[in-house]
């Protein structure tokens, strides 16, 4: 049984592993080193502190029982030694010693270890642009920054802000500033859509529309080139395309794993700078473990080394490592990439690969989307959810799922159900068609949307109809004079006629009437069909096919998807 | 390719299979026979029609696009022939003919088939008691009964009702009558707790308390022996123990599969009266399929023939059968038993086996419960969820999960995530500890309750502490003069002191103080520890153990579980 356990990093994974060690082996000497003053805080809560939804910074440092997790707490309650403001300088692997420096006294010291854990986390990726050190330029990883930003908002010192990066943290910050403080926010994202890597462009368009319709400007495919200052404080940002005035800049452009300590000690480090670990969370040195934001674990779907810096991953890995540090043999299976984010009117969730990330990993991937109510259609409370299933065309293997909807909890329920299968099974489309999610009218439809999206996917894979994303449908509509496409709105007449009245090229032919009115549909032109949610259009395709009209595409998610994207045929 | 497809039963599975057939094989002749007038309705919505939440019976018969699914709809829209008020009398398997009778004209006819589907459903189990035919005695399976009950409630003709059966439908009916119409409801359940088979007694106690605190009387371990009448109408019910006056009786005591047609044709039928099918949903005759409420499918966890009459199962099976009726080869994997029910303040969900049903299936099962917030503890909106994991002590295999909480959606999300694994993987406790559910503060805790309940279970399996259910803890408390147990409330002082002030045997020793106040804890007595949710008590057990106090039990779910059960130490 190891006597001396040394842990570098005291935010999420380090303390978790430390406590687990002590529970299993009360006699072990466990020491946590951290170079900062605050330890063991919920960094994921920072946007909610900025917004004011979380009252006090202590709430982010407290247990659910309102005890603040400071060094004294760990000493008296957990028998764990915590040394803050102490920097780990280097590892002597042969002698099994860690050289540390007390940042207050400047004194250096060699600490012996039997097992060492690197929980060094990650630092925000800040592009090397001029002005990045100006006052008013922040990242959202430190409690101190959160405090400063919130105070500035409360004092009315921030009327305009620029957020660099349209990922999870960037958008959470945008919501916090715009929704709660009325700040005019611009999000600048280098990629061609928001939440790159997490969402496909069509779903990202819904996220963009949700931001824009709440006053947040979104600039994609655009890079910040300079931060502008006046008297040492930020006063604006220039991108490749424009100048944005602001009093606050937040960098939320991803993370760089803190792996210098590992690299300098000769441990393996991936090309993207993280420390790869095996399924026991062990580095290339059997006495050194790593986990959380500094480590690389296996992507279960692609089988490749990957990176998922999330507090929940750190917590779960911390328990596994804690077990192993004191001689246990727990394993961590890797990750599939499950996430959730709440924006303004919509929430977004996903698990596994997007079409784009699946193609990068050499899968022959397609994505199929539907919109459907999240409960029985006759139940009074309900909302319209969109789900998109990503599958391998070759064998129908499910690679990922993403979705959007006003009710984040019901959306997350569907995504989490598939996430578990991605983690522990290799689900096929048929497995999701038959997925036994709980049913009662207040909670789900008898044919739940998670089953329905798989059913539609099966029909697409079998070539029974040809889907297009709602935004691609819209592009066809806009270019209708060039492409000569004939448009059919298969919704009930009242809905379709309202559009037709303004746009004569928009043909309202309700599903029930297609057969009888088939003479109105040209046989020599491509046809594009839309209904309310995409579920009904399949029947329309069948009726058209029976009548010899076979060159038909079908808008996935229908008018509901268009609406969430802010697109309108009128 | 089969020409003639005959389907007996037009409620849920029959129409679903019929439409799937026609989509795949437009040339097939598909006929649906049903002896009733109404077909294709959402029977699961009946309690919500009774309550008034669903406005019109047509809503239960309509598609999400408000088209009523009557025979005309099926003829014109689906090219499916529907013959209502037509009873299937017998199957001539050798000649492949079905003898039917038109209930209006009385005429009999032999219909030939290539493939036959039995979707005959189930009928309510009505005990053979005197008075069961009186006016005012109903079951909740027919739209006509729903109409009559709602009209009677609206007219003020029902002040008291007795519901026979405390399962899903019985409790949904109780909520509809009590909550929406102010009817005084009594639920009489034969088993010793509500939702038998679905919940263990401790969680069922929470369901009972939720009913009782909303004015619904619950009588368990009690049988109805007679329905009392006056002038042909019901006026009361006598059980083995009491007489209950009422103007309405609803039988919700389970279902009997309608399998006479199959049995008389010489098809295999299980001991509980359902038609067993293979994974293609085929009966013992390769040309006859069965599914839905009349069929028996495999319980995936026990491997035994089982029965799960739910609309969602019927819908999913209907699609599989539709594929196979026209020459496809789709499979249905069986069931694990996933369910959800919304009561008054609490919802309940579950998947797989309870401790009791697992023991019946010869597993060495235990259940471990925790209570935890459903979101990050620092996030403002959140609710306290209880989850109970059922595992095999022998190998740590997860057999089931059940839970209770005020937010049914967040609860269902956790249960569905595990349900999928029960269906397609054989999850271990460690798999649930590492389950990658989505995380962000508005949706989950970084160590989510579904992970936490597995972590606690692992500790219990490893013998690290000895749990008792909250109600068993309460029994110990009530019998404290006999058993000599020493009680410790490990919550923060304010909460514990309030109880201690009224009950001197209740010792408020906050977790943080146990070490320092160890002299107050007797070493020669059994100790029972309680905290707020059960998560904190584990640390208390460790502190006690370090100080030589080893005979300690720990109340699972803590004070939060007691509260949901309506139990109070004061």
Per-residue model confidence as pLDDT tens digits over A454-463: 999 999 999 9
B438 and A542 in contact by Cβ < 8 A?
A: no
Quote the crossing angle between the two packed helices B449-461 and A311-325, to the nearest 10°.
Answer: 10
Distance (Å, whole) CA A327 – CA A320: 11
User: Is the distance from CB of B143 to CB of B39 less than 8 angstroms?
Assistant: no
Task: Give the pair of three-digit tokens for residue B561.
Answer: 């579980």
**Rounded CA gap, B109 and B10, in Å?**
19
Q: Count residue pairs from A and B with Cβ separation < 8 A.
A: 296
Helix residue ranges, H only, A155-232: 168-175, 181, 201-212
Residue B138 φ/ψ region, left for φ over 0, alpha for ψ in the -120 to 50 degree band, beta for the rest: beta
> Do A338-459 and A466-564 show the same overall fold?
no
CB distance B157 to B28 below 8 Å:
no
Interface test with A, best of B440, B537, B539, B540 (most A CBs within 10 A): B440
Closest chain B residue by Cα to residue A546? B26
CB contact under 8 A, B418 and A420: yes
Q: Is residue A271 scored above 70 in pLDDT?
A: yes
Which one-letter DSSP state was computed for residue B556?
Answer: T
Residue A340 to residue B444, Cβ atoms within 8 A: yes
Task: Lay out the sheet containing B86-92: strands in order across.
Answer: B86-92, B97-102, B108-112
The reply to whether A129 touches chain B by the CB within 8 Å rule is no
What is residue B153's predicted lDDT score, i.e. its pLDDT?
94
Q: Residue A320: name the closest of A328, A330, A308, A311 by CA.
A: A330
- Percentage of chain A lying above the pLDDT 90 cut: 89
Is the pLDDT confidence value at A173 over 70? Answer: yes
**CATH superfamily assigned to domain B137-253:** FAD/NAD(P)-binding domain (3.50.50.60)
Element of type H or E holding A470:
helix A470-478
Q: State the Cα–Cα distance between residues A55 and B214, nearest whole angstrom.
A: 35
pLDDT band at A144 (very low <50, low <70, confident <90, very high): confident
Q: How far is CA A224 from the centre of its chain?
A: 22
- What is the number of alpha carbons within 13 Å of residue B310 lying toward its C-beta? 27
CATH class of segment(s) B338-461: alpha beta
pLDDT at A65: 67
Chain position carrying tokens 């038609």: B275
Residue A144, SS3 per DSSP: helix
CA nearest to A435 within chain B: B420
Nearest CA in chain B to A62: B378
Q: Indicate the pTM of the whole model.
A: 0.96
Which of residues 475 through 504 in chain A touch B, CB cutoff 8 A? 491-492
What span, in angstroms and rounded, lies between the C-alpha atoms of A73 and A51? 28
Residues A409-422, mean pLDDT to the nearest whole number: 98
Residues 326-345 of A with CB under 8 A from B: 330-333, 335-336, 338-342
Task: Calculate the average pLDDT of chain A.
Answer: 95
Is A250 in contact with A231 (CB distance < 8 Å)? no
Interface of B with A in 423-462 (CB under 8 A): 423-425, 427, 430-431, 433-444, 446-448, 451, 455
> CA-CA distance, A415 to A386, in Å (whole number)?
11
SS3 A197: coil
**Which chain A residues are Cβ-neighbours of B50 within 8 angstroms?**
none
Q: Please give the pLDDT value at position A239.
A: 97
The whole-angstrom separation of Cα B99 and Cα B80 is: 19
Flag whether pLDDT at A67 surpasses 80: no
List C-alpha distances in Å: B80 to B19, B73, B74, B86, B109. Answer: 7, 9, 5, 16, 19
Structure tokens at A296: 């690389």
Place of tokens 């096919």: A545
Question: A70 at the B interface (CB within 8 A)?
Answer: no
Convert the pLDDT of each residue in A334-374 to its tens digit: 999 999 999 999 999 999 999 999 999 999 999 999 999 99
**What is the residue extent of each domain of chain B?**
4-121+256-325, 137-253, 338-461, 466-564
- How far is B123 from A476, CA to CA, in rounded Å? 52
Interface with chain B: mutation pick from A371, A434, A541, highest number of B CBs within 10 Å:
A434
**A199, A350 Cβ separation under 8 angstroms:** yes
Handedness of CA B180, B186, B188, B194 (dihedral sign): positive
Q: Is A30 within 8 Å of A86 (Cβ atoms)?
A: no
Q: Could you please report the per-residue DSSP string of B300-356? A: TTT-SEE----HHHHHHHHHHHHHHHTT-------B--EEEEE-SS-EEEEEE--HH
Check residue A117 and give left, alpha or beta (phi > 0: left; psi -120 to 50: alpha). Answer: beta
> A516 and chain B: CB distance < 8 Å anywhere?
no
Measured in whole angstroms, the distance separating CA B215 from the mean position of its chain's CA atoms is 22
Phi and psi based region of residue B186 (left: phi greater than 0; alpha: psi -120 to 50; beta: remaining): beta
Give φ, ψ of B67 to 5 degrees. -95, 125
Q: What is the pLDDT of residue B65?
A: 67
Closest-CA residue of A relative to B378 is A59
Beta-carbon separation of A373 and B59 below 8 A: no
- Who among B63, B64, B419 is closest to A438 (CB)? B419
- For residue B25, the SS3 value is coil
pLDDT of residue A304: 95
Class of domain A338-459: alpha beta
**What's residue B58's pLDDT?**
86
- Whether residue A98 is predicted with pLDDT greater than 70 in this model: the reply is yes
- What pLDDT score was predicted for residue B355? 97
Structure tokens at A60: 């982010």
Partner-chain contact A378 B416, CB within 8 Å: no
Asked if B298 contacts B304 with a C-beta cutoff of 8 angstroms, the reply is yes
- CATH class of the B4-121+256-325 domain in this structure: alpha beta
pLDDT along chain B (570 residues), means of 10: 90 95 94 91 88 88 78 89 97 98 97 98 94 95 90 95 97 95 97 97 97 98 97 97 98 96 98 97 98 97 95 96 97 98 98 98 97 93 96 97 98 98 98 97 95 96 94 97 97 94 96 93 96 86 91 96 96
B348 touches A: beta carbon within 8 Å? no
pLDDT at B1: 66
Out of 3.40.250.10, 3.30.9.10, 3.40.190.10, 1.10.8.80, the CATH code matching B466-564 is: 3.40.250.10
The closest of A228, A266, A264, A234 to A247, measured between CA atoms, is A234
Chain A residues whose beta carbon lies within 8 Å of the beta carbon of residue B385: none
Give the closest-approach CA distance of B22 to chain A in angstroms. 10
């Amino acid at each position: 049984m190891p006597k001396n356990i040394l842990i570098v990093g005291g935010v999420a994974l380090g303390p978790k592993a430390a406590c687990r060690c002590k529970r299993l082996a009360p006699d072990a000497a466990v020491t946590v080193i951290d170079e900062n003053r605050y330890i063991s805080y919920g960094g994921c809560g920072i946007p909610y502190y900025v917004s004011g939804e979380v009252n006090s910074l202590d709430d982010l440092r407290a247990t659910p029982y309102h005890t603040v997790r400071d060094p004294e707490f760990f000493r008296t309650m957990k028998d764990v030694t915590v040394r803050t403001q102490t920097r780990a300088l280097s590892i002597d692997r042969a002698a099994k010693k860690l050289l540390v420096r007390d940042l207050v006294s400047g004194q250096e010291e060699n600490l012996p270890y039997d097992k060492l854990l690197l929980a060094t986390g990650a630092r925000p990726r800040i592009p090397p642009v001029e002005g990045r050190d100006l006052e008013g330029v922040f990242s959202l990883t430190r409690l101190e920054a959160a405090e400063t930003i919130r105070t500035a908002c409360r004092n009315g010192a921030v009327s305009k802000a620029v957020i660099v990066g349209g990922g999870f943290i960037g958008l959470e910050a945008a919501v916090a500033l715009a929704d709660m403080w009325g700040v005019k926010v611009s999000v600048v994202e280098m990629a061609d859509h928001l939440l790159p890597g997490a969402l496909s462009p069509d779903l990202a368009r819904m996220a963009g529309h949700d931001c824009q319709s709440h006053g947040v400007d979104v600039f994609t495919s655009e890079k910040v080139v300079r931060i502008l200052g006046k008297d040492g404080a930020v006063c604006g940002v220039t991108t490749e395309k424009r100048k944005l005035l602001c009093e606050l800049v937040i960098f939320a452009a991803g993370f760089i794993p803190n792996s210098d300590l590992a690299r300098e000690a000769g441990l393996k480090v991936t090309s993207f700078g993280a420390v790869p670990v095996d399924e026991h969370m062990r580095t290339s040195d059997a006495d050194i473990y790593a986990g959380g934001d500094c480590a690389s674990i296996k992507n279960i779907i692609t089988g490749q080394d990957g990176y998922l810096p999330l507090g929940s991953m750190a917590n779960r890995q911390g328990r596994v490592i804690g077990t192993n540090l004191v001689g246990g043999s727990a394993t961590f299976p890797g990750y599939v990439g499950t996430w959730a984010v709440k924006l303004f009117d919509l929430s977004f969730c996903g698990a596994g690969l997007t079409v784009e990330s699946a193609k990068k990993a050499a899968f022959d991937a397609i994505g199929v989307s539907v919109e459907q109510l999240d409960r029985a259609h006759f139940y009074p409370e309900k909302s319209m959810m969109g789900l998109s299933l990503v599958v391998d065309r070759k064998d129908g293997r499910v690679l990922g799922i993403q979705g959007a909807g006003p009710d984040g909890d019901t959306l997350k329920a569907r995504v989490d159900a598939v996430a578990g299968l991605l983690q522990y099974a290799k689900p096929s489309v048929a497995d999701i068609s038959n997925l036994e999610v709980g049913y009662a009218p207040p909670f789900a439809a008898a044919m739940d949307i998670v089953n329905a999206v798989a059913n539609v996917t099966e029909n697409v894979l079998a070539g029974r109809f040809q889907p297009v994303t709602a935004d691609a449908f819209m592009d066809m509509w806009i270019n209708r004079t060039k492409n000569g496409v004939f448009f059919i709105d298969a919704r009930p007449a009242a809905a379709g006629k309202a559009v037709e009245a303004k746009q004569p090229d928009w043909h309202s032919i309700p599903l029930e009437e297609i057969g009888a009115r088939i003479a109105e549909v040209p046989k020599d032109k491509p046809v594009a069909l839309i209904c309310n949610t995409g579920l009904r259009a399949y029947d329309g395709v069948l009726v058209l096919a029976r009548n010899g009209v076979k060159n038909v595409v079908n808008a996935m998610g229908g008018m509901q998807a268009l609406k969430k994207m802010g697109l309108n045929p009128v």
